[in-house]
Amino acid sequence: AALAAMAFLIDLSCPSTWAFNQDVGGRYVSAAAGWGNMLGNLGAAASPVVLGAVSAAHGWDGAFALCAGAFAVAALCGLAMDASRPLGERSA
């Protein structure tokens, strides 16, 4: 039940993630979404190895704390983005 609730809540964020990509990406929305998708897939590929090592060293509490920290860092990075100025309008 806990895994089902977690999967539901993660999927619940998908529409806002796509909207965020559109707001930040502007006319480069494909590149913004593509990079996000690529990095997400790399993280999904690395997570079994990393979580296996963390859970072996620190137990499942450590693995849960690592995942919670990753979500917190992602949230802070999202808050740091200014979606009112799309990528094409940002100065170098």
In tens, the pLDDT along 10-51 reads 889 888 888 888 888 888 888 888 988 899 899 999 999 999
Whether the CB-CB separation of 63 and 54 falls below 8 Å is answered with: yes
* Per-residue model confidence (pLDDT) at position 52: 94
Rounded average pLDDT over 45-72: 94
The dihedral built from the CA positions of residue 62, 63, 67 and 73, taken in this order, carries a sign that is positive
pTM of the entire structure? 0.66
